[in-house]
């Protein structure tokens, strides 16, 4: 398999662990093992006694039960397949669903795996471009126009990385209806779900309301537990489920037992984790709103609607930011602040954008280093 490198992951690989001030992370503030064990009495002793053998290939039954019961309204534990992060689930699903020559439509910009695996498999990938016009949004007419009789699947991501876009309930229903009317498979990347600023904005999981949809979830983002490498896909189609499990025998076979143990506790007490992380996000967003007003000569702020990330544009006429990659590299060099240049994503005028992440506790402090830099470039 000759797959192109993931621009975003290669960029993070180079800088994330050598740069002190992270201002572009997509995951929320993490928790320690001890903090997770404290959520449930007697779990520390049980964790120490946990036997490190193989686990069920589809995922620990208690974890699948907890996922199905707490995050979905119409999915059963047997519809949930636990994977190594969201990444493994994307990789396997694309491999079992798609054949060379298949036509798929992918919301764009997108996390690279969501289109690159299909490209590598020889599919015809049509990018459904989001629009940046006084805030990021999507246009359903463009989506419908891109569908051909050959279109097999639609790939979407809400809340969206990198723009922070989130459709209304009504618009999401329309997307589902479009998929249903054209008999499309729908891959719905929901890894930032539960990070809606208003809980009333939360969308139903796609897999709960459309039988050809699958929903992707993960512990990495909203729960701040990326190090567990636990994600899952909710699939109802029996044949696809079997094909998925059979493929997984060649990737990880089963998940990490200790990670499944901790993920189960975390999900049973998810309000604690979500409340803390949403608190951080909302506090940081207020600070960012002020920051972007102050520095409107440099950035056009596109306020996000949900999630821990946003994708502002460089303001026309900003001095010192001809392209965002040079700007981000100089920023790392001079201040140790890590931002993500837009050209790590597949979007129009990519060089005009920068991804900000604001799910971390130290964001206000990190922002002061960026402010100093901006003051110096004038």
Please, is 21 exposed, middle or buried when counting C-beta atoms within 10 Å of its C-beta (0-12, 13-18, 19+)?
Answer: buried
Residue from 11, 19, 81, 87 binding ligand PLP (CB under 6 A): 87
26 near ligand PLP, judged by CB under 6 A: yes
277 near ligand PLP, judged by CB under 6 A: no
Listed in sequence order, the DSSP H helices in 269-323 are 270-294
Nearest alpha-carbon partner for 181 in 140, 138, 221: 140
Of residues 291 and 356, the one with the C-beta less far from ligand PLP: 356
233 near ligand PLP, judged by CB under 6 A: no
What b/e readout covers 188-204, taking b as 16+ CB neighbours within 10 angstroms? bbbbbbbbbbeeeeebb
Of residues 273 and 374, the one with the C-beta less far from ligand PLP: 273
92 near ligand PLP, judged by CB under 6 A: no
Q: How far is CA 226 from the centre of its chain?
A: 11
Min. distance of Cβ 309 from ligand PLP in angstroms? 8
Region binding ligand PLP by CB under 6 A among candidate stretches 80-88, 91-99, 125-133, 195-203: 80-88
Of residues 335 and 342, the one with the C-beta less far from ligand PLP: 342
Region binding ligand PLP by CB under 6 A among candidate stretches 52-60, 82-90, 326-334, 345-353: 82-90
Site string for ligand PLP, 164-203 (x = CB under 6 A): -------------------------x-x------------
d(CA 310, CA 153): 27
- Which pair of tokens denotes residue 312? 């502002």
DSSP 177: H
The string of DSSP letters for 50-77 reads ---S---TT--HHHHHHHHHHH-SS--G
Is residue 234 within a helix (H) or strand (E), and if so which, with residue range?
A: strand 230-234
Listed in sequence order, the DSSP H helices in the chain are 7-15, 33-37, 43-49, 61-71, 85-97, 113-120, 140-146, 169-181, 206-209, 238-248, 257-268, 270-294, 324-335, 363-377
Q: What is the 3-state secondary structure (H, E, C) of 79-93?
A: HEEEEEHHHHHHHHH
Min. distance of Cβ 354 from ligand PLP in angstroms? 16
307 near ligand PLP, judged by CB under 6 A: no
Min. distance of Cβ 149 from ligand PLP in angstroms? 29
Nearest alpha-carbon partner for 279 in 358, 181, 373: 358
86 near ligand PLP, judged by CB under 6 A: yes
Min. distance of Cβ 221 from ligand PLP in angstroms? 7
Residue from 161, 255, 335, 346 binding ligand PLP (CB under 6 A): 161
259 near ligand PLP, judged by CB under 6 A: no
Min. distance of Cβ 172 from ligand PLP in angstroms? 16
Of residues 157 and 346, the one with the C-beta less far from ligand PLP: 157
218 near ligand PLP, judged by CB under 6 A: yes
Of residues 6 and 38, the one with the C-beta less far from ligand PLP: 6
- Which pair of tokens denotes residue 178? 């479009």
Name the residue whose CB lies closest to ligand PLP.
Answer: 85
Please, is 67 exposed, middle or buried when counting C-beta atoms within 10 Å of its C-beta (0-12, 13-18, 19+)?
Answer: buried
Of residues 189 and 260, the one with the C-beta less far from ligand PLP: 189
Residue from 95, 215, 220, 264 binding ligand PLP (CB under 6 A): 220
| Number of residues forming the site for ligand PLP (CB under 6 A) | 13
Of residues 220 and 259, the one with the C-beta less far from ligand PLP: 220
Q: What are the φ and ψ backbone dihedral angles of 230, each rounded to 5 degrees?
A: -120, 120
Q: Is cis: bond before 31, omega within 30 of 0?
A: no
157 near ligand PLP, judged by CB under 6 A: yes
In the complex, the residues that contact ligand PLP under the rule CB under 6 A are 26, 85-87, 111, 157, 161, 189, 191, 218, 220, 226, 231
């Amino acid at each position: 398999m000759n797959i192109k490198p993931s621009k975003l992951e290669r960029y993070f690989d180079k800088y994330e662990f050598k740069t002190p001030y992270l201002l572009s992370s997509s995951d929320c503030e993490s928790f320690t093992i001890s903090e997770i064990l404290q959520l449930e009495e007697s779990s520390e002793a049980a964790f120490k006694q946990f036997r490190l053998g193989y686990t069920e290939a589809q995922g620990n039954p208690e974890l699948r039960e907890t996922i199905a019961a707490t995050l979905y309204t119409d999915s059963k534990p047997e519809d949930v397949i636990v994977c190594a992060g969201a990444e493994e689930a994307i990789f396997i699903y694309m491999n079992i669903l798609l054949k060379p020559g298949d036509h798929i439509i992918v919301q764009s910009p997108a996390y690279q795996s969501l289109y690159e695996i299909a490209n590598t498999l020889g599919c015809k990938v049509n990018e459904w471009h989001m629009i940046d016009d006084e805030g990021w949004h999507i246009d359903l007419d463009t989506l419908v126009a891109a569908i051909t009789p050959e279109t097999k699947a639609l790939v979407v991501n809400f809340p969206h990385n990198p723009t922070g876009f989130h459709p209304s309930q009504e618009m999401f229903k329309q997307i589902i209806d479009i998929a249903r009317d054209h008999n499309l498979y729908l891959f719905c990347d929901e890894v930032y779900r539960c990070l809606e600023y208003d809980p009333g904005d939360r969308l139903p999981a796609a897999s709960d309301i459309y039988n050809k949809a699958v929903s992707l979830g993960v512990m990495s983002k909203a729960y701040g537990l990326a190090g567990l490498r636990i994600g899952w896909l909710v699939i109802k189609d029996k044949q696809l489920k079997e094909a998925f499990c059979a493929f997984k025998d060649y990737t990880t076979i089963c998940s990490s037992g200790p990670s499944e143990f901790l993920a189960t506790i975390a999900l049973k007490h998810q309000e604690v984790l979500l409340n803390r992380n949403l608190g951080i996000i909302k506090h940081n967003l207020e600070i960012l709103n002020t920051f972007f007003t102050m520095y409107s000569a440099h950035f056009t702020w596109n306020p996000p609607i949900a999630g821990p990330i946003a994708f502002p544009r460089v303001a026309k006429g900003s001095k010192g930011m001809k392209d965002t990659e040079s700007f981000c590299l100089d920023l790392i060099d001079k201040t140790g602040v890590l931002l993500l240049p837009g050209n790590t994503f597949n979007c129009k005028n990519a060089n005009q954008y920068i991804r900000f992440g604001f799910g971390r506790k130290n964001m206000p402090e990190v922002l002061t280093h960026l402010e100093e830099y901006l003051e110096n470039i004038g």
